[in-house]
Amino acid sequence: MIKVGIIGVGTVGTSVAEILRDNADVISARAGVDIIVKSGVVKNLNKDRGLDILITDNVDDILNDPEIDIVVELMGGVDEPFKVVKRALESGKAVVTANKALLAYHRYELQEIAKDIAFEYEAAVAGGIPIISGLRDGLSANHIESIMGIMNGTCNYMMTKMEQEGVAYADILQVAQDLGYAEADPTFDVGGFDAAHKLLILASIAYGIDAKPEDILIEGIDNVSQDDISFAKEFGYAVKLLGIAKKDGDEVELRVHACLIKQEEMIAKIDGVMNAISVVGDKVGETLFLWSWCWWRCYCICCCCKHH
């Protein structure tokens, strides 16, 4: 039996615990071992999470518990999660995190600390898309020529509405906030920083580089107007916020910004809150990893869009 401690039992943390509980039979069958959540850390002990696990507000209750085999870090932020994950790895506990900001700044350092201890972060980039395992395993025999993707569903939803319905930026931002796609302070999404963190994680795997957000070009969609959208559409282009990594000799180009894409291109057809990442390998050609999410369901499709 493997016992899990979740640090940060918010919306995502609660869902993780529910999945491990509700799908325990299929998870055990596939993993070959029972995986149960023993305890979780929260900020507010008075809020009912509907979970039959030990709830505490002290991370030491998990980090110092010898029965906890895996720590799931879902705190958010950078500095405090770094300390927590570092302690967990140093104590010999495996770690799973979805914290893209933490990884954008400290992945290499934490990987060095982990050594042979499992340190996994598939959910940190594009939700349900298996893009990290795709790069590390599925495309491991390829030199990666480029990565280009829609890595922020909030921005893609807003750009789609602006293009298809002629909605002004300020109006669709308010709608996105009302729907819960965008935060009250949407800067992290619309400013391109969320996409940049994800791009840096992918680039570090594909190219072995340790770049930081401050090292690359980051522009969001907050200056994209309805006039820009209409002009692009008139000439057969769509506007998408893309994260782009491209090999150029011995150098790697990294950038996040709104791009003009020909409407017939596959990536231009990705609408709404969907994410999609195109990876070009020197042997496999182009592969497109696609994910859609809503409040009720998600699905993942992987396809070779040039060779099949």
Secondary structure element (H or E) that encloses residue 72, with its range: strand 70-73
DSSP string for residues in 74-125: ---SSHHHHHHHHHHHHTT-EEEE--HHHHHHHHHHHHHHHTTS-EE-GGGT
In 3-state terms, what secondary structure has residue 285?
strand
The one-letter code for the residue type at 168 is: A
198 has catalytic annotation:
yes
d(CA 11, CA 14): 5
Q: Which of 93, 100, 161, 198 is catalytic?
A: 198
Q: Which of 89, 58, 75, 54 is nearest to 12 (CA)?
A: 75
The one-letter code for the residue type at 201 is: I
d(CA 136, CA 165): 39
d(CA 50, CA 62): 20
Q: Which of 110, 93, 90 is nearest to 7 (CA)?
A: 93
Positions marked active-site: 198
